[in-house]
Structure 1
Amino acid sequence: MGDRQLKIYFCGSIRGGRQDAELYARIIKQLEAYGKVLTEHVGHKDCTTSKTDVEIYDQDMAWLEDSDAVVAEVTQVSMGVGFELGRAVAWNKRVLCLFRPGEDRRLSAMVRGADDGKNFLVKDYKEEDVPGLLKEFFVQLDQMDKMDTKDLKIYFCGSIQGGRQDAELYSRIIHKLKQYGKVLTEVIGNKDVLRIEADMTETEIYQQDIAWLDSSDVVVAEVTQPSLGVGVELGRAQLMKKKVLCLFRPQEGKILSAMVRGAHDGDSFIVKDYREEDLPTIFSEFF
């Protein structure tokens, strides 16, 4: 996650029973060494609230979706925790479940059976094991994030037919992007891209680029120069729910299309006005 503070979603039984509330509080305290615990209230002895069930659900689902990792104490049977774990798996969150074996205790197969040794981990433990288990989980999380970032497939968009005046800028942007993953469309930064593609039919170019776009993990577009092609790529990327970053250099006489600027949601589709010296910070935040 780089220098960004991790957001951790902690799960523990609330309505299923509060007998482990003090234990939850101690685990949460240890989790704070690794990031911000969004659900620290789960460790409070008194979890009563004036919120309606709908408000609680909306708040917790927003926190869960926004989290980087999920840690669940699953010894006490809890339908709510089970629901959260199911949603976490669907959202591809990294999950650590902690279970204290004991007489007459058996962990649900829907949790134990989900352990894949990578994204979803289930650990039997005693409380003195918690520091080591958390350290192991977050070290592995950091290593996996670095590996995932390195393996990212990046689709870079920039104007070709609309104008090649920014080709050298595209090349510099692509060079910076390569530290985060493989740039599938490195050719966009080549001044001679039209000559390089001269032996291909327009259908072949389209099919090649769409195949790259479909297989990409993220899309980065330099959108200062107007381009029908880039517009097509962005529309398709949004429909495919790709994570998109659009870069625009404000200047006299140029206004970014409302179809791009208006798509900004601050999460999956991001539009940034920038100067070239801003790019390292923008990319660090995006990736």
Structure 2
Amino acid sequence: MTVHPIPPFGLGTFRLKGQTVIDSVTTALELGYRAIDTAQIYGNEAEVGQAIERSGVPRDELFVTTKVWTEHLAGDRLLPSLRESLDKLRMDAVDLTLIHWPSPGGAMPLAESIEALLAARQQGLTRQIGVSNFTVALLQEAIDAAGAGQIATNQVELHPYLQNRTLAGFARSQGVPLTSYMTLGYGKVLADEVLAGIAAAHGVAPAQVALAWAMQLGHAVIPSSTKRANLQANLAAQDLKLTDDEMARIATLDRGERLVNPAGLAPAWDV
């Protein structure tokens, strides 16, 4: 089973349902996207799988990620839930399986969930394992449980207004790449004057600047869109190279503005 590195660029499917997500994935694959990110809680794995199957793109050219929801983190629930996800996705295996959120209140021991993920990998249900929404302390705990070099990524909210430097620095020191979700900050950063100025200088859209910024920091990005033009523009962010001065200007925009902080689910975030 070939293990591919996590692509720096992919398609997110959060909040996309039914025909909307089918159209988004279909268009993205037509444009050349080859990494698709979904999750059990998104309620769209079946539609994502349908779009992938109909696309005709060979499975071995794709990188597919799904995430296990908190109610399935018990050792005896994780594998059955992942098999259900694979049935919906119409696949024998995904490339990456993440713990979507840490168990609320630590109700389920992380070591138990990691052990189940490692078993899923050994059984060929997933090629790599990782986590999402983990703090420094939780990421350290995951590394301790899985072993060095076993956590493929930590997927977290990260955008110009929330640059997550403490976590990013720790993750880098441990060799764990971050995947940035909400890289456009629900669209809030698109009106930023600094990003707009840099975009104008390059003749691109502010969204491309934000995505290029994150990728140049070494993070993977998974922006979503339902519009073909935006999907195409986002994809082109891979070709945009920002100068050191432009990167430094974006660095000044950090204001710790967290947009995803669900009560009862979010851990005690790093400052």
Query: What band does the TM-score fall into relative to the shorter chain?
Result: under 0.3
Query: So what's the TM-score if we normalise by structure 1?
Result: 0.26
**Which structure has the greater CA radius of gyration?**
1
Structure with the greater relative contact order (CA < 8 A, sep ≥ 6): 1 or 2? 2
